[in-house]
Amino acid sequence: MFASKNRGTVIGKGLKIVGSVTAEGLVEVHGQIEGELHGTSLVIAKGASVVGTMTAQRIVVDGNVEGPIRGGDVILKSHANVAGDINHQSLSIENGAVFEGCSKRATARLDVVQAGKKNEGERSARKLSAAE
C-alpha cells in the first residue's frame, strides 16, 4: 500500500518557508522559499518560487528563482524564470525559459552537502559573535 522508497522532501504548494533549508536527497519545491536551499537534488516546480541561494549537485528549475544558483547539472525547463548568476558544471536551457544573469562553468565537482553545512556553521558563529 505504501511505497518503501524514500522519495525525498516535498515543500507543498501552500507552504512558504523563510530561512535556510538543508536536506540530503531530493527536494521538490511546489511552494515558496525565501532564503537558502541546499540539497543533493533540487526540483523547482512550475508555479513555485525561490528567492535566495540554491546549491545542489542537480538542479531542475521550472518555476521562478531570484538569486544565485550553484550546481553540478543545472536544467532550466520551458517555464523557468531565473534572475541570478549560475555556477555550474553543465547547463541546459530549454526553449521558453528566461534567464537573466551570468553563467560560469566550474571545473571542480561540487560538494553540496558539505557546502551547506559549512554555510550553516558560519551563520551560527556570526550569530554567537553578535550576541556577545
34-74 pLDDT, tens digit per residue, is: 999 999 999 999 999 999 999 999 999 999 999 999 999 99
- pLDDT tens across 68-94, in order? 999 999 999 999 999 999 999 999 999
| Number of separate helices (H) and strands (E) present in the chain | 1, 14
DSSP code string of 34-58: EEEEE-SEEEE-TT-EEES-EEEEE
Domain ranges for the chain, please list them.
9-131
Beta bridge partners of 48: none
What is the pLDDT, as a whole number, of residue 121? 53
- CB 67, CB 54: distance < 8 Å: yes
Using DSSP, state whether 80 is helix, strand or coil: coil
55 vs 132, higher pLDDT: 55
**pTM for the model:** 0.79
Residue 119 is given by DSSP the state H
